[in-house]
Structure 1
Amino acid sequence: MSVLEPFGTRLRRAMDERGPLCVGIDPHASLLADWGLNDDVAGLERFSRTVVEALADRVAVLKPQSAFFERFGSRGVAVLEKSVEEARAAGALVVMDAKRGDIGSTMAAYAETFLHKDAPLFSDALTVSPYLGYGSLRPAVELARESGAGLFVLALTSNPEGAEVQHSVRPGDDGGPNVGARMLAHLARENAGEGPMGSFGAVVGATLGDLSSYDLAINGPLLAPGIGAQGATPADLPRVFGAAVGHVVPNVSRGVLRHGPDAASLRASADRFAEQIRAAVAAV
C-alpha cells in the first residue's frame, strides 16, 4: 500500500492554494427536484457529476454525504465511488461524511472501507462518531496514519440535540471538562508535534457562537458546518473560533448547491464563499 503525505499536510496546502472551503455533495430528494432531476440513480449520477466537474479543480475539499448515495443501494454506492475517484483526480481532497462509529472489528471494517488506500471508497478523510468512547476509534486512527488519511471527529456539532451528549460531564466530575472538550483534548494529543497541521480534526459548528471557553488549539483542522443555509456567515468565523480560525475549514452545502445545475453559477458561488472566508481569516 503506497502512503500519501499526511492528510494535514495536504489539507494545509490545499487551503492555502485554493482557499479554506469545503463544499458538500448532498443529493437529497428536494435538491434533485430543484435541479429538475428525478429522484433516482440517473438523477443522482447527473447531480454528482455536475458538482465534481464544476468544483473539484478549484475548491480545497469536497464532502459527499454517504447516506444520500446509500439510499439507492449498490448502484448509488457505485456513483459515490466514481464521484470520489473523479474528485480526487481533479485535485480536490475528499472528506467522506459517513459519521461511522463502532467498536473492535466493526470499527476496523469501517476503517478499511474508507481509509485503506486500495479500497474503492478510499477518501482523504472520514467523519467519525466517538460516542462509544474515543478509544473505540483507535482502528480508524491507526489506519489513517498508515495510509496518510485523516479523521474528523464529532466534537461540538451544530444540531441543537448534540448538546445533550456533548455538553455533559462524567459523574463525580463537576466543574471538569464536558464531553466535547474531552474530544478536543484527545485530538490535540493525536496531533502533537505534527506540522504544518495534524491530520486529526474536529467537527465544530459555525453556528455555536462564542467558543472561547473551549481549547480549539488542537493543531488540527476544524470542519465547521453551518455556513449558508443554517444561518452562519463567513464574517462570523473569527468570533466563533478566535485564534484557531486559521485551521477552520468551513463547510457550505446548500448555499452553493442551490445555484445548480448551471456549472458556471456553482463555480461563482463557491468562489464568492472562498473569498469571503479568506477575508474573514485575514482580518484576524
Structure 2
Amino acid sequence: MSPLEPFGARLRRAMDDRGPLSVGIDPHASLLAEWGLNDDVAGLERFSRTVVEAMADRVAVLKPQSAFFERFGSRGVAVLEKAVEEARAAGALVVMDAKRGDIGSTMAAYAESFLHKDAPLFSDALTVSPYLGYGSLKPAVELARENGAGLFVLALTSNPEGGEVQHAVRTEDPGGRNVGATMLAHLAAENAGAQPLGSFGAVVGATLGDLSSYDLAINGPLLAPGIGAQGATAADLPRVFGAAVRNVVPNVSRGVLRHGPDAGALRAAADRFAEEIRAAVTSV
C-alpha cells in the first residue's frame, strides 16, 4: 500500500479483508494489574507488545489511547512510537486516539505530531475534537490529505456528558440542526466524491440507540465505541446505524483485552468479535 493512498481507501480494503473491527490498546492501571503487570514502563511495554504481536496481522484497526502512554512521560511515548511502528508494519491501520483540538499554530503542531509522514508517531488516522469550531481543524484536515491520513471527529459520543454540547441546537442554523448533526454535515462535505470511502470520519457511539434522525451518510467511516464492556453488541449495529452500517468501524477494548495476557486468547476474542460484526453488517 502506498503511504499516500488515501486513508479511506486503505480502510475500506482492510475492513473488507480483515473484518470491520478496531481493537483498542488501552493500558490503564487496572488492566495492567489484571494481566499481572506492574504499573510502570516495563508493564506498559509488555502489554502493548503483546497486543500488537497478537492482533496487528489480523484486525483492520488498532487504536492506541495515547493518554495511557503519555502518563509515563517520554519513556511511555517511546513505547507508543514502537507500538505504532510495529502495528503498521504488520498490516494494521493505526488510529491514534488522542482527541486533539486547538486553534491556529497549536492545532498545526498537533497535526504534525501525528499526521506528518516523517513524524515518529505518524498514524493512519487521528481522533480530534471540533469544539473550538469545526474550522479550527483545518490544519489537521490539510495535513491528513497531504499525507494520505484521516481524521475521526467527535460528533455523537457515547459518554453521557457529551449531550450538553453535541445535542445543543444552533439557533443560527436555519434547519435547526444540533451541533452533532452539524459536524456530520461538515464531514460529508469533506468526503464529497471520494471513492470508495472518504478519509474523514465521525466518532458515533454504538450505545446511542436509534440515530435515524441523523444523516450518517457522510461517505466516510464511523468509529463506533461501546461494543462489549459498555453494553452494545454487534447485533445492535444495524438498528443504530441503519444503511450506514457498512461504513461503521466498531471499537472493542476491554471486551478483547480482558482475555490477555495469553496471545491465543486475545486472538480468539478478536476473531469472535470480528465475525459477529461481519455477520451483523452483511445481514442488512
Q: Normalized against structure 1, the TM-score is what?
A: 0.98
2:149 pairs with 1:149? yes
Q: Which residue does 2:164 correspond to in 1? A: 164
| Pair 1:68-2:68 in alignment | yes
Match of 1:240 in 2: 240
Matches within 5 A, 1:111-150: 111-150=111-150
Alpha-carbon distance between aligned partners in 2 of 1:171 and 1:157, rounded to the nearest angstrom? 22
Gaps of 5+ in 2: none
Aligned equivalents of 1:229 and 1:43: distance in 2? 23
What per-residue deviation string (whole Å, max 9, x for no partner) do you get for residues 186-241 of structure 1?
00000000000000000000000000000000000000000000000000000000
Is the 8 Å Cα contact of residues 154 and 202 (structure 1) preserved in structure 2?
yes
The offset of 1:154, in angstroms, is: 0.1
Instruction: Give me the whole-angstrom Cα distance separating, in 1, the residues matched to 2:57 and 2:232.
Output: 26
* RMSD (CA atoms): 1.0
Which consecutive unaligned segments of at least 5 residues does structure 1 have? none
CA distance in 2, matches of 1:75, 1:129: 26
- The amino acid that maps onto 1:166 is Q
Corresponding position: 1:22 with 2:22: yes
1:156 and 1:204 in contact (8 A); partners too: yes
In structure 2, what residue type is equivalent to 1:63? K
**Contact kept in structure 2, 1:199 and 1:220, CA below 8 Å:** yes
TM-score, normalising length from structure 2?
Answer: 0.98
Deviation, structure 1 residue 171: 3.2
Pairing 1:124-273 to 2, within 5 Å after superposition: 124-171=124-171, 173=173, 176-273=176-273
| In structure 2, distance between residues paired with 1:17 and 1:82 | 25
The one-character-per-residue Cα deviations of 1:63-93 (angstroms, maximum 9, x if unpaired) are 0000000000000000000000000000000
Instruction: Report how far residue 4 of structure 1 moved.
Output: 1.8
The one-letter amino acid paired with 2:23 is V
Task: State the alpha-carbon separation in 2 of the partners of residues 222 and 170 from structure 1.
Answer: 23
Question: Which amino acid in structure 1 is aligned with residue 71 of structure 2?
Answer: R
Cα distance per residue 1:84-139 (max 9 Å; x no partner): 00000000000000000000000000000000000000000000000000000000
User: What letter matches 2:233 in structure 1?
Assistant: T
Name the aligned partner's letter for residue 251 of structure 1. Answer: N
1:195 is paired with a residue of what secondary structure? Answer: coil
> What is the total number of aligned residue pairs between the two structures?
283
CA distance in 2: counterparts of 1:166 and 1:42, whole angstroms: 39
Counterpart of 1:23, as a letter, is V
Q: What one-letter code is carried by the residue in structure 2 that aligns with 1:146?
A: E
Matches within 5 A, 1:98-109: 98-109=98-109
1:174 positional shift: 7.9
Query: Deviations 1:147-184 (Å, cap 9, x if unpaired)?
Result: 00000000000000000000001235586000000000
